[in-house]
Each structure stands twice: as structure tokens, then as C-alpha cells.
Structure 1
Amino acid sequence: MSEYYVCHSCGTKYEITENVWKCKCGGMLDLLKQKVTLDPSKLSERPPTMWRYVDTMAFENDSTIWRKVTMGEGYTPLIVLDETKPNTLVKVDYMMPTLSFKDRGAAVLIAKAKELGVTRVIADSSGNAGTAIAAYAKRAGIACDIFLREGTSPKKIAQVKAHGANVRTVNGTREDVAAAAQKAINEEKHFYASHVYNPFFYEGTKTYAYEIWEQMKSEPDTLIIPVGNGTLLLGAYYGFKELLENGLIKKVPKIVAIQAENCAPLAKAFVNNEIEAEEIKGKETLAEGIAIAAPARSVQILEAVRTTNGEILTVNEEEILQARAALAGKGFYVEITTAANYAGYLKYNHSLSEKIIIPLCGAGIKSN
């Protein structure tokens, strides 16, 4: 499959190499590739993992490099949350090797790194992405450094270290952590395995959409998705767009994004009808996974929400804790960021006939 990086801001194209991760103009890179074609009749022959959709991903023709990386991630259960609301389903995406949806993107990104001959990767994270990158890098035989903020959940730090990654902690904000990682990338010239900057991460998270379509045999009306850097939101959007282009669905579902009230730059930009979110001075929030004061892909995130006639809702800390307890009462023990998403669903004004999907992004054992 022939593909390139293309700048979302100025349109400059780049060959895909180990050292390219941002445009010279400072813009974010998207993946430019030939039109994706999916033959549904072949899916029954494929394994029950996200790699059943490998033909839609930007690997070399007939590449099987992913087989050296996969741990069976994907194809997670889609379950009715409450029998009184049969049209609301949860996708249990914490049923992954490292207990979060980030395994989707990490598996594809590390497989691509392996295909490029990368020997060392650097990544920054609030926890889950770092864990996933560390696990798949170890499996692929690639050395790994993960930058984390001091104060990150000890359980997540322990998980990253367990996978053999070198942890570099940074005293500061999540944005300070990203800046430190990028400084190291520029100085050390290693592959930036960023779940935000590298478009191949979205080639993995888009499988969330493909699975929903195959499991439902149609598209839902609405996706409720927590958003900080937008890795699941954009992946889902890209996946449903590809399904629409293949004539397999009638429309891209409406995206309802959820932010923590204490750190909600995207919600502010959405309400003010701004194209790009400005960096804010966010307060501390229990939902550390979406505590992003300056989302690098805010332009793409806001485009996706608006294009689907969606909206962005915010939830406060008490609503988050109450939602976590409510989900636990239904049998789902989730991490706090996922609870913020469910809190948003509880505030969302919907009809009983509206088909809604809620991702359960991370397992509760990962949070304090």
C-alpha cells in the first residue's frame, strides 16, 4: 500500500521514515493513502482480533509483520448496559492485554516501527498509552523510553516498568511531559512513538469503528467518547468514514465528546465556535487520561465533532465519582477517566430509540 504523511495545515507531503513526526511548519501530520477497500465476505476467515481488518491498514503489501507484535487485541464485547435501555451498549475495550483501548493504536504503531527497522522508541503519556507502547515494544524487541508526569498513578508506572521500559518522570504538566519527550527525540534521534503525533496510532484505534459495524451489522446513531488528545475519537471517526466510503454504512455516527469540567479546552472552543482550541490553565482532575490543556490535534477533533453534528459536554468531579460507582453497580469496574465518559452519557439528552455506544476505555485496577 502506497502512503505518505501530509500536513493538516499546509499540505506538505513527507515520505514515511523513522525520524519524521511533525511538519516543518509545525503542523500535525495525517496519513495519506490509497482508498481503503474492505471485502466483508473475507472477514469470516479472519481471526477474532482487530487484525481481521489489516487490509485497511497502511502496511506494505502482504506484510505479516503484525504477527510478531500482536497479543490478540481487539474484537472486544459489545454489551447492553441496562435492559431498561436496550439501545445503549457498552464496548468493553479494557478487555485488552494492557487493560485499555490504547492497545489498538500501540499494536499498529509498533508493528509499523518494526517494519521500518526501528530499534528504539520514545513516547510520552498520562499512563495508558505509555503502558501499551512499552508492552508492544518489548514484544517486538524494540528498546523503549516512556516519559510520564510525576504524580501519575503508581499502578500505571509499575505496569510500564514491568514491561521493561525506561521511565523518565517529569515534574510539571502533561504538556511539560510532551515537551520533554520531544526534546529528547530531537537530541537523540529516535522514533517518536506518539499516540498523538503519529498517524499510525489512529490506524489501530479506527478498528473500534470496524468492530462496532461488524458486531451491530450497521452503524449506531451516536458515539459517546471521552476526549483529551482525541486518539479514540479520531480513530472512530476515521474508521466510520472509511466504512461510509465503502458503502457499508449510510452515515457516520454523531460524536458526543466528553471532557472533565476542570480541564476542558475543547468544550470551550466548541461553544465559542473556534476552529482550534487555545491552551488553558487547567485544574487538577481525577480523570487524568483526558487532562490535556493543549490538545495538539484540536483542529481535527473539532472538525470531527462538528461534521457529525455532535457536541462536547463537560462533567464535574462529583459526577465522575458517582458515575464510577454506578458502573461498578452494573458489574463494570472502570478507571476514573472512563467514569467521566459515563457521567457525560448520563447528562446527554437522548431518545429511547437512539442507538448509542459507550466505550469502557480502561480497567479500574489501573486507577487509585
Structure 2
Amino acid sequence: MNAEQPPAVAAPDLYDRSGKRYSLDDPRWRGEDGGPLSVGATPGLRPEQIDTAERSLWRYHAVLPVPTARRVSLGEGCTPMIPVDWAGRRVHFKLEWFNPTSSFKDRGVSVMMSHLAAHGVERVLEDSSGNGGSAVAAYAAAAGVRAKIIVPAATSAAKILQTRAHGAEIEVVSGTREEVSDEAIRQSAHIPYASHNWHPMFIQGTKTVAYEMWESLGFTAPDNVVLVAGAGSNVIGCDLAFGELLDAGQIDRRPRLFVGQPEHWATIADTLNGIDPAARGERKPTIAEGASISHPVRLPEAVEAIRRSGGAACAVPESGIYAAVRALSARGLYAEPTSSVAAAALDHFLATGEIAPDETTVVVLTGAGLKSAEKMAAVFAGQGDAAQG
């Protein structure tokens, strides 16, 4: 399977892994080969093309293949990127919980929903362990589109509440994350599938986080970007945007992508590192629920993105995730356990020397701790008593 991007085309279209192309007007969400679709390459952005009057990711509309006149936006993007002292090193943290539904998923969903609404979709279906579902519910409400969200039984109550508050129909499915996805795919025969894992326009939205890094750093690329990955949409989005900027001559190198995954859900990291994921044995529940995906839809693309950047990936033990949540909170950053995997990965790659102290490093924190109240309570259980004793 070829994970490389095709040459730039005058009018972007869709293509699958076999190389077959489809019109952007085609409502399909996967290729005839059964694999995911991607959008044909678009020219990279130049600084003068940024719509500086727009305070949202739509300031980069020149590289978004959707009609801006029909956009569905709640002000997503333009999230803070703050310098933090991390073990004596200056590291930038990109705070994606400043998006409207408090996670990075809003970037992809805004672009995806804009595309779907422009094509007259009146109802959408999504399957999600939390953040993706609440984002689809919110943007569907903004677009006047009905939404049905299928969620795993273990989904955070706060995330289900948010999804329901936006008017979405909720269906709870017992079983693994893959079984939930399988149920959604069965129902997609009757309802347009707005899957954040499958839909090609979602990646077009996630790539804007990289454009923001580039703009915030004075139109230069960082040396390193550290990410958590479940399905890998941020990994692929960063690869796509930095590739566009490199092709446009706006940067002279790709940042290295460093990726962390929960230990028993590290399919991307294991594949990159030549480890058989099945060798880890039975998959165990993780506090980082948003990254518990055993079979990422875009696995070869995510692996190739890391490899192309010269980066690396690691499996993070549960103890490391707990420690990262506490370390972030001690610095005023209340990040949910899933996004804290990135901070744990940062510790790993600093310890190995793969990230040097004098390099410019950006860590993306994908979601807020307020949306994972039960998981955060588990992390800090007993600490208050210990502090008083």
C-alpha cells in the first residue's frame, strides 16, 4: 500500500490507496478498494495568503478544499501555544482544549461538516469514544444537520452529556472500540457516515494545527512535534501541512514527529518499530481512553508520516500516563489522560536524547481534563489525603 502523497493537481480530488481518483463531489467516505480516501495535494500556504482578519482555522482557507462561503465554524483553531519550563528545558505546549468543544477534533469536524453541509447532507452518523462524537454533535447542530453518535459503553459520562446536549441521538454499544466502529459501518448504509477516522476532509482540518505552529514561530518550522496517537489523524495532518509548506519553499525541512501511544494500544509505534502488536498479548483497558484504538484505519499512512519526518514512536506504560497528568497539572495544565500521553512521550524522548534541550519542540495537548472527570479523579485519588497526612 502506498502512503505517499500524489503530485499536486490543479483541482484537488480524492484518491484511494490503489491510486484510483474520485471527484470531491462524490459522497463516498472510502475507496472502492475498501481503504480510506485522501485529498489530492494542494499548494502550500504563503504568509500573504493568510486571512489575518479571520480568527479561526479558516484564516488558512487558501489550503482548505471546501467552499468557505458554506463553512460551518464555531471559532475553532488559533489555540494558544505557550512556553513551559519542563525539566529545565523550554518546551512549547499547544493547548487544543481552547477549541469550542474542548478538543482538537473540532478542527477536523469543522472542515468535514462544512464539506458535507455544502453537499446537502441532512443527517450524519459518527462513532466515537468521546471527543469526536461531541464535536460532530456540536457542528451538526451549528449546521442544522441531525446527528446520531454511536459510543462505547465505557465512554466518559461528561462526553456523552455534552454530545446529548447538542441534540444528537446517542446509541451505546457494548464491546470493543472496533465493534462500535463495525456497527457504525453497518448503519452507514442508511445514514451518511461522518467518521473522524475515515472521512478525508477530517485530515484537512487537523493539518491546520501545523500551519498555526509555523505562523506562531515566525513562519519557521519547529525542530520537533510531540503527539499522542490513537488513529493518528494529528500525525498525518502535521505530515500533510509540513509537506505542503516544504513543497512551497516556506520551510527548509520537516519537523521530526515524535509519537506516544498507551502501552497496550501502541499499534502505530509497534509497527514503526518492527514489533508485532499481537506480541503484547491481551489488550488491557487504559486511562487514555481516546487513544485505545487497536486497528487504526490509516495505519500505513501514520507510520510513513513518522518515518518520513525522521521521528520516532514509543509505547507509554500506564504509570507514565498517570505521572504525566500530574506533572502537567502541577504546571497549571489540566489535560485529560489521553492528551497527557504526549507529555509522557516527551519525557521518554528527552531521556533517550532523541530530543535535544536546545531544539524547538512543540507538544500538542489534545483535550481538557474537565471532559474526563472520572479518569482525572482516578489519577488524583488519595493524593489530597496524603498531602494532609
Per-residue displacement from partner, 1:81-137 (whole Å, max 9, x unpaired)?
117745410011111110001100011100111111111110111110111011000
* Aligned match of 2:110: 107
Matched with 1:140 is 143
Distance in 1 (alpha carbons) for counterparts of 2:256 and 2:59: 25
Q: How does 1:218-367 map to 2 (within 5 A)?
A: 218-272=220-274, 281-349=282-350, 350-367=355-372
Q: Distance in 2 between matches of 1:277 and 1:16?
A: 37
Alignment CA distance shift 1:232-1:158 (3 Å): same
| Offset from partner CA, 1:267-324 (integer Å, 9 cap, x none) | 22112178x9999852111101110011110000000011111111111111111110
Q: Quick one: distance in 2 between partners of 1:118 and 1:306?
A: 37
Q: Partners of 1:39 and 1:278 in 2: how far apart?
A: 46
Q: Closer, same or farther in 2 for the Cα pair 1:176/1:202, shift >3 Å?
A: same
Aligned to 1:5: 14
Find out whether 1:40 has 2:53 as its counterpart. Answer: no
Secondary structure of 1:262 counterpart:
helix
- Cα distance in 2 for residues equivalent to 1:233 and 1:260: 16
Structure 2: unaligned runs, 5 residues or longer: 1-9, 375-389
2:36 matched residue in structure 1: 28
SS in 1 for 2:62: helix
**Quick one: distance in 1 between partners of 2:192 and 2:278?**
27
- The one-letter code of the counterpart of 2:312 is E
Separation in structure 1 between the aligned mates of residue 369 and residue 321 of structure 2, nearest angstrom: 13
Query: Contact 1:324/1:339 (CA < 8 Å) preserved in 2?
Result: yes
Q: Is the 8 A contact 2:49 2:60 kept in 1?
A: no
| Secondary structure of the structure 2 residue equivalent to 1:366 | helix
How many residue pairs get aligned? The number is 359
Change (3 A) 1:142 1:44: closer
**Aligned-residue identity in percent:** 35
Contact 2:46 2:250 in 1 (8 A): no
TM-score by length of 2: 0.88
What is the alpha-carbon distance in structure 2 between the residues aligned to residue 279 and residue 23 of structure 1? 32
Amino acid at match of 1:113: L
> Per the alignment, do residues 134 and 298 of structure 1 end up closer, same or farther by CA in structure 2, a change over 3 Å counting?
same
Q: Counterpart of 1:131?
A: 134
Distance 1:278 1:316, change over 3 A: closer
Structure 2 distance, partners of 1:359, 1:134, is: 23
Residues 79 and 273 of structure 1: CA distance in aligned 2, closer, same or farther (over 3 Å) = same
1:29-108 matches, within 5 Å, as 29-33=37-41, 35-43=42-50, 45-60=52-67, 63-66=68-71, 69-82=72-85, 85=88, 87-108=90-111
Residues 277 and 295 of structure 1 are in contact (CA less than 8 Å); yes or no, is this contact kept in structure 2?
no
SS at match of 2:78: coil
What are the superposed Cα offsets for residues 230-287 of structure 1, whole Å, 9 maximum, x if unpaired? 111111111111111111111111011101012111222112178x999985211110
Q: Is the 8 A contact 1:80 1:87 kept in 2?
A: yes
The root-mean-square deviation of aligned C-alpha atoms, in Å, is 2.0
The one-character-per-residue Cα deviations of 1:341-366 (angstroms, maximum 9, x if unpaired) are: 11111111321111110011100001
The answer to whether 1:210 aligns with 2:218 is no
- Seen in structure 2, the aligned counterparts of structure 1 residues 280 and 122 have a Cα distance that, compared at 3 Å, is farther
Q: Which residue of 1 aligns with 2:378?
A: none
Compared with structure 1, are the counterparts of its residues 251 and 280 closer, same or farther at alpha carbon in structure 2 (3 Å cutoff)? Answer: farther
Which amino acid is the alignment partner of residue 368 of structure 2? A
Q: Residues 277 and 227 from structure 1, CA distance in 2 versus in 1: closer, same or farther, beyond 3 angstroms? A: farther
